[in-house]
């Protein structure tokens, strides 16, 4: 009986194609909006995790100040770190795989007629270990080059593209600010970083070179600490904070004049915020599903009125009330499910098209597609029940008299 009822429902839908399409339009828009929003939100979350993980796994970033800024919001800038701090971290804290200090500056790189504004990163070979950043060609700094602060550099692929078109940069020289720098290595391509910056747009030099030639001081404005995979990052962070407080002569109760950021915590926080935003957008888009359900109920009420005589004939020849109810309820659910399927197809096409434009990966989530389809079917049941109940409650004699 259910199969026959379904066939009758599909036949009725096909007989009024335009009206059926307009009836399910709200469901189509609702399902398409919900699935598209959630899918793109999942892609954005995945992109954020991937970008932040490019900073390195199990990385602790240490900076002077109590916040993200240079002075951490205080009136007086806190003291920078020194090389002795790096040695102490390396020697006195267990589970540390690599410690890299950083001194940074901006400058214009010039070669022949080309010039390019870029960032200069002064650091040590531990920086590449911490970030697990391989070389595409060339070599790392030698111990003598690091100790003496030689004018050698390792460059990213963006520098190669803008200054060395068609030329092998290894062994070549170019000018950074007023310094002639020899290229000894080229970094493997990484693309966009965790905060939208181009990671390949960088010139890496020995930290002493940058301190002497660019910053003019021995300040270390950031320390990157790579934690071994076998150690608890939270414990290492606690030991690191205790050591730095001791070295910076902070008394008990005095606030830290430095901050330690765990890249995993940053990733979890940003991902959590993205998921909440995705949920809110999905909830807003789901409102159109309710509107679509109201549309189905209105059209089904009109259909009951139009087919009153047909209902009366069915009841007069022996059809039971629950059979009439089932017929109209199946018709409403079929309409809603058809809208759900069309909405999912539209959402699939939309997300594949929009993902590259927004710069996020396409992450197919079967769960949200199934939930959207089931929810659309439930909309059909809820909003189709009242018209179906009204049809089943008709008096056969009064229905046969209806014109």
Quote the pLDDT of residue 156. Answer: 92
Quote the pLDDT of residue 139. Answer: 94
Answering whether pTM is above 0.75, one says: no
Q: Are 63 and 104 in contact (CB under 8 A)?
A: no
Quote the pLDDT of residue 349. Answer: 93
Closest C-alpha among 14, 28, 19, 35 to residue 347? 35
> Could you read off the pLDDT tens digit of each residue along the chain, which spans 403 residues?
566 666 766 677 677 777 777 777 888 888 888 888 888 888 877 777 776 666 556 788 899 886 544 444 445 678 889 889 999 999 999 889 899 999 999 999 999 888 899 999 999 999 998 888 899 999 999 999 999 999 999 999 999 999 998 889 999 999 998 889 999 999 998 876 544 567 889 999 999 999 999 988 888 989 999 888 888 888 898 999 999 999 988 888 888 889 888 877 766 666 677 777 777 777 776 777 777 778 778 777 777 766 677 767 776 776 666 677 777 788 888 888 888 899 999 999 999 998 888 878 888 888 888 888 888 888 888 887 777 777 777 666 665 665 5
Q: CA 176 to CA 172: how far, in whole Å?
A: 13
218-232 burial, b for 16+ CB within 10 Å, e for fewer? Answer: eebbbbbbbbeeebe
Q: CA 315 to CA 296: how far, in whole Å?
A: 24
Range list of β-strands (E), 169-257: 173-176, 179-187, 202-206, 222-227
Q: CA 293 to CA 380: how far, in whole Å?
A: 7
Q: Which sequence spans correspond to the domains of the chain?
A: 2-51+268-401, 79-256
Number of neighbours of residue 188 by Cβ within 10 angstroms: 12
Q: CA 60 to CA 264: how far, in whole Å?
A: 9
Task: Give Cα 225 distance to the centre of its chain.
Answer: 25
Q: Up-side HSE of residue 33: CA atoms within 13 Å toward CB?
A: 20
Q: CA quadruple 5, 7, 12, 16: dihedral positive or negative? A: positive
Quote the pLDDT of residue 19. Answer: 74
Polymer length in residues for the chain: 403
User: Residue 195 burial (CB < 10 Å; 0-12/13-18/19+)?
Assistant: exposed
Q: Are 64 and 80 in contact (CB under 8 A)?
A: yes
Distances (CA, A) of 374 to 30, 334, 401: 13, 12, 39
Quote the pLDDT of residue 65. Answer: 80
Closest C-alpha among 39, 43, 48 to residue 269? 48
Quote the pLDDT of residue 323. Answer: 72
Alpha helices in 307-365 (DSSP H): 308-316, 321-358
Quote the pLDDT of residue 70. Answer: 45
Please write the tens of the pLDDT for every residue from 128-160: 988 888 999 999 999 999 999 999 999 999 999
Q: CA 38 to CA 274: how far, in whole Å?
A: 10
Q: CA 99 to CA 166: how far, in whole Å?
A: 36
Classify residue 233 by its DSSP letter: H
Quote the pLDDT of residue 69. Answer: 46
Quote the pLDDT of residue 368. Answer: 84
Mean confidence (pLDDT) of the chain: 82
């Amino acid at each position: 009986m259910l199969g026959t009822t379904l066939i009758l429902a599909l036949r009725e839908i096909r007989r009024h194609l335009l009206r059926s399409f307009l009836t399910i339009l709200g469901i189509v828009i609702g399902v398409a909006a919900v699935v598209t929003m959630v899918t793109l939100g999942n892609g954005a979350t995945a992109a954020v995790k991937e970008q932040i993980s490019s900073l390195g796994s199990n990385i602790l970033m240490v900076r002077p100040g109590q916040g993200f800024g240079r002075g951490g919001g205080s009136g007086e800038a806190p003291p920078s770190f020194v090389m002795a701090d790096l040695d102490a971290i390396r020697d006195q804290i267990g589970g540390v795989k690599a410690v890299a200090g950083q001194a940074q500056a901006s400058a214009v790189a010039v070669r022949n007629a080309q010039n390019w504004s870029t960032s200069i990163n002064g650091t040590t070979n531990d920086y590449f270990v911490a970030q697990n950043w391989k070389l595409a060609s060339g070599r790392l700094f030698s111990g003598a080059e690091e100790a003496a602060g030689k004018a050698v550099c390792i460059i990213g692929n963006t520098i190669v593209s803008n200054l060395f078109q068609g030329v092998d940069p290894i062994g070549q020289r170019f000018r950074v600010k007023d310094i002639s720098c020899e290229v000894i290595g080229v970094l493997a391509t990484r693309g966009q970083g965790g905060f939208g910056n181009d990671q390949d747009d960088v010139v890496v030099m020995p930290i002493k070179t940058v301190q002497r030639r660019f910053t003019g001081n021995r300040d270390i404005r950031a320390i990157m600490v790579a934690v071994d995979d076998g150690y608890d990052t939270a414990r290492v962070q606690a030991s690191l904070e205790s050591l730095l407080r001791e070295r910076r002569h902070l008394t008990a109760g005095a606030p830290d004049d430095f901050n330690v950021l765990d890249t995993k915590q940053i990733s979890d926080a940003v991902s959590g915020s993205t998921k909440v935003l995705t949920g809110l957008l999905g909830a807003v888009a789901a409102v159109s599903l309710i509107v679509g359900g109201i549309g189905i109920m209105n059209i089904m009420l009109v259909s009951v009125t139009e087919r009153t005589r047909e209902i009366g004939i069915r009841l007069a020849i022996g059809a039971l009330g629950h059979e009439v109810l089932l017929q109209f309820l199946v018709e409403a659910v079929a309409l809603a499910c058809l809208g759900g399927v069309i909405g999912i197809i539209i959402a699939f096409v939309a997300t594949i098209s929009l993902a590259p434009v927004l710069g996020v990966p396409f992450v197919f989530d079967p769960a949200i597609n199934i939930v959207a389809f089931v929810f659309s079917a439930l909309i059909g049941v809820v909003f189709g029940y009242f018209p179906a109940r009204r049809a089943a409650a008709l008096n056969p004699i009064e229905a046969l008299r209806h014109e």
